Amino acid sequence: MPIPRAFGLFLICGLIPLHAADVRRSPARTLDSAFPFQPVSNATEWEARRVEIAHRIQISAGLWPMPSKTPLNPVIHGAVDRGDHQVERVFFESLPGHFVSGSLYRPAGPSLANGLKNGKRAAVLCPHGHWKNGRFYDAGESKAQEEINLGAEVLINPARFPVQARCVQLARMGCTVFLYDMVGYADSIQFPEHRNGPRPEMSSSKPGEWGFVSPQATARLQTNFGLQTWNSLRALDFLLALPEIDPERVLVTGASGGATQTMMLGAIDARVRSAFPCVMVSTAMQGGCTCENGLLLRIGQGNIDIAAAIAPRPLGLTAADDWTVELEKKGHPDLLNLYKMLGASDHYEAHFDIQFKHNYNHVSRTHMYQFANRHLSLGLPAPVAERDFKPLSQEELTVWTKDHPAPSGEQVGPSHEKAVCRWWEEDARKQIQPLLRPSDPATLERARNVLGPALRTMIGRDLPTAGSCEFEITAKEKPSDHTKLTGLIRLRSRGEEVPAVFLHPSSWNGRVILWVTPQGSAALETEPSVTKLLNEGNCVAAIDVFGTTDPKLTENPAIPYSANASKPGEGWQLSPVYFYGYNDSLFARRVHDLLTTISFVRHHPDWKVQSIAVAGMQGAGHWVAAARAIAGSGIDRCAIATQGFRFADLPSHWHADFLPGAVKYGDLNGLLVQSAPHPLWVQDAGEETAADLSATYGVTNSTASLSLDGGDAVAFLTKN
């Protein structure tokens, strides 16, 4: 049977040059790239997009599924009464042995009558950002006077102690306010450094012996950003557990790095009823610290999208003479349109006081006070004006005292960092391992709800839709009794191209076999199985997946944290979050190529394919396993030779096969079990993998579709 006429015409039309180049060969994206908002058309689309944004944040932060919420064991002590407000010292355990410290501000005296609603008070959570010494920040008299002279501040004490100032004023307005320490700031001494780079002594393949910025932590999505976000969630738990709190009136507000945490909480936790992130949200620089950058975090989204994820709940922003200087033209119009579309125009506001440098100054705080008065239903006469106050000294603020001694010994430094990673890994394993070997339909459903979104986020791609691919022929030959077609499959919407070869037999049976190896199309000339498949009437295809033919792409690039840095100045700038937070891994891009090819073959309306089978051989099995899991019914049959590959064995987080998060979600097993109930052949599965697959296929009543005996792969792929 000759090549179908429609297919031949479709391929020949590709002889018209498309003049496209693979966008993935462009320089890597960084935190200084452009991040425009991705608009939607209606409220239904927005809800789906909002969930997508929230999932990516949670997965990036290592919080999917959510870690176990262990007892906080809060300690509140050392109240200081200032007449119209009081401040108490607080510490609690966000996870066993890891303390979050902070200051709890409450109304007192004449302020007690303010802000009450049915006897309850509004809650305000305040992440502080990267001000020197954080909660203890003192700008000094000269700096304070300078700010007053500029019009940025009005009163001397709020000018000197702006972090304390907003908490005092909000307490006077009738709110209960919790100002908590970022990791490594003020009383958060268990991590002596706020951020670290790679350290050989913190990298180990031994269970429980690694710390952050190690291949082991990166493979499990354990980062400074994740711990900080978890601390913020537990701080919200602490605050909402106080008996006076009205859970319907909750605001989070912070500036700079505190605004990053404000955005993240608003996006992932519906208990946050309103948010006011200052001088952070923009289409430009996305945040420079490791606490603001997570693996996978800003692929397909940026800070405008993340801030928007709270919509239609109330959102307020400020801009300054920094990376937010263009917010009014870039980002703000999108947010305004989104809130209008959702029928909530009165829930969004932005202020553009760009005459001031990066700040949470009196002008910005005053905007926030009016926002809080309205959206927390405090009922105070407007406008609310900030008053001077007597600041607390560091001695009055510190939570560690003689009666409440600070952590020491093994509770501090590298040993504590390893203990945090150990608990995090053990907790995740307890939740995920049962999903790899489900015993009933309910567990299987949870496995799909957890592992599916995780994989799609790590890979960043679904099967492309019908008609989204084009093919350009570069050569057409007839070496014997088959036709060889060489060309490029292009995914227009992504600007990607995949070198491909199709061997089409003279008598085609309607089946296409995609033969995947690291050698790509070259394997078609030497692989005996290919000849056998052709002789049986199968069309055999091969592709050169991204980077396998390019000597410059032998591993993921260890780029500096910023496009503006000619070379990294500090070790923390070498953290992998600065590459994997903005760019797909080589592994993911190779899976993209497989999905593109499968879609091209499967969906073209003029090429009547009866079935598609995919084989991952000679070191390509793990690529195919990921594509198999995502493609679903897009692949009819699949054969995978594992060759013993496991992500956990990779020595570096820059390895070409490295995929952030892969080990957390079950390693290769986590990919393979998502194949059920579709036909799957696995060679060298190993005892544990075989048991996981057998259980999953058993629960889906598809045991007959699973082959683990290492039999003939060709026979399996061509079985009708």
Tell me the DSSP string of 187-214: T--SSSSS-----GGG--SSTT---SSS
DSSP letter at 166? H
Domain boundary among 342, 363, 381: 381
Residue tagged 């393949």 (tokens): 205
Residue 203 falls within a domain, yes or no?
A: no
Residue % of the chain over a pLDDT of 70: 96
Does residue 1 carry a pLDDT above 50? no
Structure tokens at 210: 């690694």
Residue 422 falls within a domain, yes or no?
A: no
Q: Quick one: average pLDDT of 355-366?
A: 98
Q: What is the pLDDT of residues 536-593, one digit of tens each?
A: 999 999 999 999 988 888 899 887 677 665 555 578 988 999 999 999 999 999 999 9
> Which of the residue ranges 163-167, 627-631, 709-713 would you say has the lowest mean pLDDT?
709-713
Q: Residue 628: which H helix or E strand, with range?
A: helix 621-631
Angle between helices 43-60 and 332-341 (to 10 degrees): 120
Cβ contacts of 390 within 8 Å, gap of 6 or more: 82, 157
Does residue 3 carry a pLDDT above 80? no
> Rounded to the nearest 5°, which phi and psi values hold at 78?
65, 45
Cα–Cα distance for residue pair 16/333, rounded to 1 Å? 40
Q: What is the pLDDT of residues 233-252, one digit of tens each?
A: 999 999 999 999 999 999 99
What is the three-class DSSP state of 30? Answer: coil
Asked if residue 589 and residue 700 are part of one domain, the reply reads yes
> Among 65, 66, 67, which residue's Cα sits nearest to residue 453?
65
Angle between helices 586-603 and 621-631 (to 10 degrees): 50
CB 86 within 8 A of CB 111: no
Cβ contacts of 506 within 8 Å, gap of 6 or more: 1, 2, 481, 482, 483
Residue 316 falls within a domain, yes or no?
A: yes
Task: Give pLDDT, residue 608.
Answer: 84
Cα–Cα distance for residue pair 499/501, rounded to 1 Å? 7
Count of CB atoms situated within 10 Å of the CB of 175? 27
The total number of structural domains that make up the chain: 2
> Among 74, 94, 185, which residue's Cα sits nearest to residue 135?
185
Does residue 9 carry a pLDDT above 80? no
Question: Nearest 5°: CA angle at 189, between 187 and 192?
Answer: 135
> Among 225, 226, 227, 223, which residue's Cα sits nearest to residue 210?
223
Task: Give pLDDT, residue 180.
Answer: 98
Does residue 47 carry a pLDDT above 60? yes
Beta bridge partners of 612: 512
DSSP letter at 547? T
Q: Quick one: average pLDDT of 326-338?
A: 99
Cα–Cα distance for residue pair 482/657, rounded to 1 Å? 34
Residue 685 falls within a domain, yes or no?
A: yes
Q: Residue 247: which H helix or E strand, with range?
A: strand 245-255
Asked if residue 488 and residue 356 are part of one domain, the reply reads no
pLDDT category at 21 given cuts 50, 70, 90 is: confident
Does residue 272 carry a pLDDT above 90? yes
Asked if residue 566 and residue 482 are part of one domain, the reply reads yes
Q: What is the pLDDT of residues 650-664, one digit of tens each?
A: 999 999 999 999 999
DSSP letter at 317? E
Task: Give pLDDT, residue 563.
Answer: 60
Count of CB atoms situated within 10 Å of the CB of 333? 12
Task: Give pLDDT, residue 318.
Answer: 99
The string of DSSP codes covering 655-692 is BTT--TTTTTTTHHHHHHGGGTTS-EEEES--HHHHHH
Report the CATH number that the domain containing residue 51 is assigned in CATH. 3.40.50.1820
Cα–Cα distance for residue pair 540/484, rounded to 1 Å? 10
CB 364 within 8 A of CB 354: no
What is the three-class DSSP state of 580? Answer: helix
Asked if residue 454 and residue 339 are part of one domain, the reply reads no
Asked if residue 370 and residue 461 are part of one domain, the reply reads no
- The model carries a pTM of 0.95
Cα–Cα distance for residue pair 44/713, rounded to 1 Å? 44
Residue 99 falls within a domain, yes or no?
A: yes
Task: Give pLDDT, residue 4.
Answer: 45
What is the three-class DSSP state of 431? Answer: helix
- Per the structure, the complete domain to which residue 650 belongs is given by 5-29+446-717
Task: Give pLDDT, residue 58.
Answer: 99
Q: What is the pLDDT of residues 680-704, one digit of tens each?
A: 999 999 999 999 999 999 999 999 9
Residue tagged 């919080």 (tokens): 63
Cβ contacts of 193 within 8 Å, gap of 6 or more: 184
Task: Give pLDDT, residue 426.
Answer: 98
Question: Nearest 5°: CA angle at 322, between 224 and 255?
Answer: 45
Does residue 127 carry a pLDDT above 80? yes
pLDDT category at 710 given cuts 50, 70, 90 is: confident
Structure tokens at 440: 């009933």
Task: Give pLDDT, residue 564.
Answer: 61
Residue 388 falls within a domain, yes or no?
A: no
End-to-end CA distance of the chain: 19
Cβ contacts of 39 within 8 Å, gap of 6 or more: 334, 337, 338
> Rounded to the nearest 5°, which phi and psi values hold at 15?
-65, -20
Residue 198 falls within a domain, yes or no?
A: no
Does residue 15 carry a pLDDT above 70? no
DSSP letter at 120? B
Structure tokens at 684: 């060298």
Q: What is the pLDDT of residues 392-418, one digit of tens each?
A: 999 999 999 999 999 999 999 999 999
Asked if residue 283 and residue 174 are part of one domain, the reply reads yes
Structure tokens at 397: 């603020």
Asked if residue 455 and residue 550 are part of one domain, the reply reads yes
Q: Residue 200, preceding bond cis, omega within 30 degrees?
A: no
Q: Residue 265: which H helix or E strand, with range?
A: helix 257-268
What is the three-class DSSP state of 153? Answer: coil
Whole-number average pLDDT of the chain = 94
CB 146 within 8 A of CB 61: no
Cα–Cα distance for residue pair 189/181, rounded to 1 Å? 10
Asked if residue 592 and residue 518 are part of one domain, the reply reads yes
Task: Give pLDDT, residue 7.
Answer: 44
Asked if residue 75 and residue 18 are part of one domain, the reply reads no
Asked if residue 470 and residue 331 are part of one domain, the reply reads no
Structure tokens at 110: 């004449």
**36 conformational bin, left if phi > 0, alpha if psi -120 to 50, beta if neither:** beta
What is the three-class DSSP state of 6? Answer: helix
Q: Quick one: average pLDDT of 347-361?
A: 98
Structure tokens at 50: 């909002």
Q: Judging by DSSP bridges, how do beta strands 482-491 and 511-516 pair with one another?
A: unpaired
What is the three-class DSSP state of 693? Answer: helix
Task: Give pLDDT, residue 26.
Answer: 92
Domain boundary among 366, 381, 396: 381
Asked if residue 472 and residue 516 are part of one domain, the reply reads yes
> Among 637, 631, 615, which residue's Cα sits nearest to residue 683?
615
Asked if residue 595 and residue 567 are part of one domain, the reply reads yes
Cα–Cα distance for residue pair 197/189, rounded to 1 Å? 18
Q: What is the pLDDT of residues 427-480, one digit of tens each?
A: 999 999 999 999 999 999 999 999 999 999 999 999 999 989 999 999 999 888
Residue 197 falls within a domain, yes or no?
A: no
Task: Give pLDDT, residue 479.
Answer: 81
